[in-house]
């Protein structure tokens, strides 16, 4: 299945090892449908409908079922932190279907993160700055 990632699963970030052995398909962005918030060290994307929606920047991966189980565990699907939805993304060849983890908890004081997480590399510890 195709998975769109937008946070710590991206190349160079702390949870990227969960994608080990999977196929990187390219950088991508969602169609304008979502808003992204900083949830305290990780991002959460919510479905905004037409209420201030924009395109989220991230990466598109082809993953197998074993990888999906690992990432479902990481994203705490069973406790309701995230849920998986199908969405449209564009990796340079026009819109295509992919899956995305949607944040399901209350945002509280979550700060709007814009279309890219993190907003700035200055917000990351040096060990998490992607260099590729």
Per-residue pLDDT reduced to its tens digit, 36-93: 998 888 899 999 877 778 899 999 999 999 999 999 999 999 999 999 999 999 999 8
CA-atom Rg of the chain in angstroms: 14
Q: Considering the domain 2-128 in this protein, what is its CATH number?
A: 3.10.490.10
pLDDT attached to residue 106: 80
DSSP labels for 62-86?
Answer: E--HHHHHHHHHHTTGGGTSEEEEE
Q: Strands 23-30, 57-62: parallel, antiparallel or unpaired by DSSP?
A: antiparallel
61 touches 127 (CB < 8 A): no
27 is catalytic: no
| Cβ atoms < 10 Å from Cβ of 98 | 24
pLDDT band, very low/low/confident/very high, at 126 (cuts 50, 70, 90)? very low
Q: Which of 75, 76, 88, 112 is catalytic?
A: 75
What per-residue confidence (pLDDT) applies to 127? 45
pLDDT classification of 122: cutoffs 50, 70, 90:
very low
User: CB within 8 A of 108, min separation 6: which ones?
Assistant: none
> Model-level pTM?
0.86
pLDDT value of residue 119: 64
């Amino acid at each position: 299945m195709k998975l769109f990632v937008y946070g710590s699963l991206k190349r160079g970030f702390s949870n990227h090892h969960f994608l080990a052995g999977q196929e990187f398909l390219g950088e991508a962005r969602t169609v304008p449908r979502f808003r992204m918030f900083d949830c305290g060290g990780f991002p959460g994307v919510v479905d905004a409908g037409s209420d201030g929606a924009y395109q989220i920047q991230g990466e598109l991966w082809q993953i197998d079922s074993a990888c999906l189980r690992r990432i479902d565990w990481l994203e705490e699907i069973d406790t309701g932190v995230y849920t998986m939805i199908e969405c449209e993304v564009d990796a340079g060849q026009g819109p295509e279907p992919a899956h995305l983890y949607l944040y399901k908890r209350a945002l509280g004081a979550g700060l709007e993160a814009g279309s890219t997480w993190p907003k700035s590399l200055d917000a990351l510890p040096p060990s998490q700055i992607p260099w590729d």
